[in-house]
């Protein structure tokens, strides 16, 4: 049976008549809430429970006395050298980065804030931009890993939003069985994550019928936000795999001393290293190259740490543009290998 939980007052209720994925007012406070399938809702509750347990374990780890210490007033045994910082585990090492709100805090953003402040740059953060307890990062990973096949779907949805259409139909009969199944599966998964208001598959005709959501956050996701999420989660996963402490942010508004305002799509500051800035482009970007060149210089970053991730570039095009300009251009395939060289 469909179920909803109000994010405003916490009220939980079953709703037998509401279609899954639709929105309705909370029966207690009237706030608009999204209706989920019960099995899907319970699965996510269980997933978040175990994720929370892992986070609690990770947060408790620093409180464990180092080996060789008998209590809080004791001193290390003379025969043991203190553990080097490089050998210590990162506080985020055991955290499920796909389902955590630990990044969405002022403390997590503080190192980045200090880095910008030291250069007389006012950085303004929206902490919620790095909260991965929703489904934006999951959906972005699904789209990004199969973008060659899914790009037409994303283009069709973007076009529909721009033209104020409320639906998209996808005819899959001309595709191979494997590709048609993959696209249909993605649409069904995005629907289960409420990125579409309705989903219907006409099996005999092989047509997927989608009704678009009106929520601004979902529209922004299809209008390029998915690429920012994909780049962000790729970057912090690599940092975690290499046991790096880091401060990260999305959608950072930076104001320079002369009051020039810019926005940085993705920024990550590994401890002891320069920040990595990623500008994400799912559409036209060529007219902005001069702007990015000036921005890189004003931030004092080398070309390797200022990355333009353009979804529709070929590897040959990305390499050619990198050779032409003092910037690093990548596509979805070359993003992770390049970031790995910086961490």
Question: Tell me: the pLDDT tens digits for 167-215?
Answer: 999 999 999 999 999 999 999 999 999 999 999 999 999 999 999 999 9
Residues 123 and 229 reside in one and the same domain: yes
Give the per-residue pLDDT at 44. 62
Provide the 8-state DSSP code for 175: S
Give the per-residue pLDDT at 72. 44
| 267 neighbors 112 (Cβ within 8 angstroms) | yes
CB atoms within 10 A of CB 336: 14
Final residue of a structural domain among 199, 218, 237: 218
Give the per-residue pLDDT at 240. 93
Give the per-residue pLDDT at 336. 96
Final residue of a structural domain among 189, 218, 247: 218
CA angle 43, 101, 65 (to 5 degrees): 105
Final residue of a structural domain among 12, 31, 63: 63
Give the per-residue pLDDT at 294. 95
User: Does 30 fall in a domain?
Assistant: yes
pLDDT > 90 in the chain, percent: 69
User: Does 283 fall in a domain?
Assistant: yes
Angstrom distance (rounded) from CA 252 to CA 268: 11
Residues 161 and 261 reside in one and the same domain: no
Q: Looking at the 3D structure of the chain, how many domains does it have? A: 3
Q: How confident is the model at residue 303 (pLDDT cuts 50, 70, 90)?
A: very high
Question: What's the alpha-carbon Rg for the chain, to the nearest Å?
Answer: 23
Residues 179 and 309 reside in one and the same domain: no
User: Does 91 fall in a domain?
Assistant: no
Report, as an integer, the average pLDDT of 276-285.
93
Helix axes 226-241, 332-340, angle to 10 degrees: 30
User: Does 68 fall in a domain?
Assistant: no
Report, as an integer, the average pLDDT of 295-311.
96
| 230 neighbors 143 (Cβ within 8 angstroms) | yes
Residues 52 and 118 reside in one and the same domain: no
Residues 118 and 144 reside in one and the same domain: no
Residues 323 and 232 reside in one and the same domain: yes
Residues 20 and 155 reside in one and the same domain: no
pLDDT > 70 in the chain, percent: 82
pTM of the model: 0.73
Angstrom distance (rounded) from CA 324 to CA 307: 14
- Which tokens hold the place of 253? 């508004």
Residues 18 and 36 reside in one and the same domain: yes
User: Does 258 fall in a domain?
Assistant: yes
User: Does 101 fall in a domain?
Assistant: no
Angstrom distance (rounded) from CA 343 to CA 37: 40
Give the per-residue pLDDT at 145. 94
Residues 44 and 9 reside in one and the same domain: yes
For residue 170, give its domain range.
Answer: 136-218
Query: What is the DSSP pairing of strand 276-281 with strand 306-310?
Result: parallel
Residue 62 has pLDDT above 90, yes or no: no
Residues 185 and 207 reside in one and the same domain: yes
Closest CA to 226 of 305, 147, 315: 147
Q: Give the CATH number of the domain where residue 206 resides.
A: 3.30.1370.30
Residue 81 has pLDDT above 50, yes or no: no
Give the per-residue pLDDT at 12. 82
Report, as an integer, the average pLDDT of 227-250.
95
Phi, psi angles (nearest 5°) of residue 335:
-60, -55
């Amino acid at each position: 049976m469909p179920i909803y939980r109000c994010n405003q007052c916490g009220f939980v209720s079953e709703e037998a008549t509401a279609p899954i994925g639709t929105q309705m007012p909370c029966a207690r406070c009237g706030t608009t809430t999204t209706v989920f399938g019960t099995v899907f809702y319970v699965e996510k509750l269980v997933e978040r429970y175990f994720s929370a347990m892992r986070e609690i374990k990770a947060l408790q780890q620093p409180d464990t006395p180092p080996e060789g210490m008998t209590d809080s007033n004791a001193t290390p045994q003379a025969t043991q050298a203190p553990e080097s910082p490089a050998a210590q585990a990162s506080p985020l090492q055991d955290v499920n980065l796909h389902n955590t709100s630990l990044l969405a805090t002022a403390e997590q953003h503080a190192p980045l804030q200090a880095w910008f402040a030291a250069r007389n740059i006012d950085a303004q953060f929206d902490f919620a931009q790095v909260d991965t307890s929703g489904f934006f990062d999951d959906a972005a990973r699904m789209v990004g890993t199969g973008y060659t096949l899914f790009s037409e779907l994303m283009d069709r949805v973007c076009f529909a939003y721009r033209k104020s259409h409320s639906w998209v139909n996808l005819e899959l009969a001309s595709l191979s069985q494997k590709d048609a199944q993959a696209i249909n599966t993605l649409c069904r998964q995005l629907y289960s994550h409420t990125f579409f208001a309705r989903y219907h598959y006409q099996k005999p005709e092989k047509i997927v019928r989608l009704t678009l959501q009106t929520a601004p956050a979902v529209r922004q996701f299809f209008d390029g936000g998915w690429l920012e999420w994909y780049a962000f989660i790729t970057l912090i996963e690599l940092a975690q795999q290499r046991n790096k402490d880091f401060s990260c942010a999305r959608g950072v508004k930076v104001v320079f001393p002369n009051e020039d305002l810019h926005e940085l799509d993705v920024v990550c500051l590994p401890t002891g290293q320069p920040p990595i800035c990623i500008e994400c482009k799912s559409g036209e970007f060529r007219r902005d190259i001069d702007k990015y060149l000036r921005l890189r210089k004003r931030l004092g970053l080398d070309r390797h740490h200022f990355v333009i991730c353009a979804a529709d570039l070929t590897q040959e095009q990305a390499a050619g543009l990198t050779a032409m300009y003092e910037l690093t251009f990548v596509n979805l395939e070359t993003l992770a290998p390049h970031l790995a060289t910086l961490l």
